[in-house]
Amino acid sequence: MKKLFFILSFLSTIIINNKIYSQGCVAIRSTGATCSLRMPDSISTASKWQLGINYRFYRSYKHFIGKEEQEERIKAGSNVINHSTTIDITVTHELNQRWSLLVDVPILDNSRSSLYEHDKVHRYSTHSFGVGDIRFSAYRWMFDPEKSEHFNLQLGLGIKFPTGDYKYQDRFHINDSTTIVGPVDQSIQLGDGGTGFTVEANTFYNFSHHVGLYGNFYYLVNPREQNGVSTSRGGIPSTQTVEIGSDVMSVPDQYLIRAGVNFDLNKWMFSAGIRDECLPVHDLIGGSQGFRRPGYIISEEQGISYSLKRFSAYAYVPVALVRNRTQSVPDKNKTALTGMYTQGDAAFADYVINVGFVIKF
């Protein structure tokens, strides 16, 4: 009983609630877990509500085409630099030993500096700030927690609403004295403009009270193909941009896979694992036209957490091992149109910082 309530409480708040937001120009948002499992000696069975606060920060500045880094961009000073800060607020309510409900509200503060989006000579910045896409989810443990202390599987279904401003605008510099107002880049928009549906699976296997395995899977289905927002930054799209379908922003799917091992030492827990965050080229439902920067990031993820009866704090740092900006649908359209292979680039971060806490009421 005591073990089950920790697993139910701590997993439902930390594994599910601490979201992932884009790791650079590949705009991956709201993709689940940063933490994992531990098994303390005791936990209150009266805690039905939990509040989670997660702080996330990254700086993306290294450009990749496929898996090849474009090192000359940094040397020339032409690289794009994104700074992203996210405060993720989650509230979880446990209905009973198996069922729980969650609401997630992200608050984003983004900036993006570049040359090519402005006068191509000087580096200027655009910004976005506000509430992102809010998500509601329901979760159920598939096996009776009282009888399945060493292994269990939790499944979740949710809905993501387009509450984040996906048309956020800022000023772009045409020259030293002239600016034009237009939508900011897709990577720093506050939302994607689509109502999406989430499917999740969280599992664990504990060899003992001190060593265990964890796994997480998250997939966001976005049926809407495009959100109608121009990619021309206040200007007029070119004829070719319209022909290849990159003149408006797409509403892409995304997914996350995590797996690793935990080491539990009394109130402290250490973990090490691998995570794969991906924005796919093609969506499961609906079309895949429109501008997107598909790709994936495979990272090694180290973490540490400290837990008391009603309070848990943690710090997790995924460090990128593989960064791959894959060929988008507009890239493929341009390849077919011109006869020349085309594959766009994207800027990625070296690592992401996640720190936060969970309070049980």
Distances (CA, A) of 121 to 223, 257, 314: 39, 40, 42
- What does the alpha-carbon distance between residue 44 and residue 361 come to, in Å, rounded to a whole number? 10
Q: What is the pLDDT of residue 147?
A: 87
Q: How far is CA 182 from CA 171, 233, 244, 293, in A?
A: 6, 4, 21, 19
Strand partners, 66: 325
Amino acid letter at 182? G
Query: How far is Cα 63 from Cα 205, in angstroms, rounded to an integer?
Result: 38
Q: List all residues 6 or more positions away from 213 whose beta carbon is below 8 Å from its beta carbon.
A: 204, 205, 206, 207, 259, 260, 261, 262
d(Cα 326, Cα 313) in Å, to the nearest integer? Answer: 36
187 φ/ψ sector (left φ>0, alpha ψ -120 to 50, else beta)? alpha
Q: Give the pLDDT score at 153.
A: 96
Q: Which domain holds residue 262?
A: 2-360
Q: Alpha helices of the chain — where are they, by DSSP H?
A: 2-6, 16-17, 71-76, 239-244, 329-338
Distance CA 95, CA 99 (A): 5
> pLDDT tens digits, residue range 95-108?
998 999 999 999 99
Q: What is the C-alpha separation between 47 and 90, in angstroms, rounded?
A: 15
Q: Which residues of the chain have pLDDT under 70?
A: 1-47
pLDDT of residue 342: 97
Displacement of CA 167 from its chain's centroid (Å) = 19
What residue type is 152 in one-letter code?
A: N
Coil, helix or strand for 320?
strand
**pTM score, two decimals?**
0.89
- CATH number of the domain encompassing residue 293: 2.40.128.130
Tokens 């030293």 — which residue? Answer: 176
Tokens found for residue 248: 């408006």
State the total domains in the chain: 1
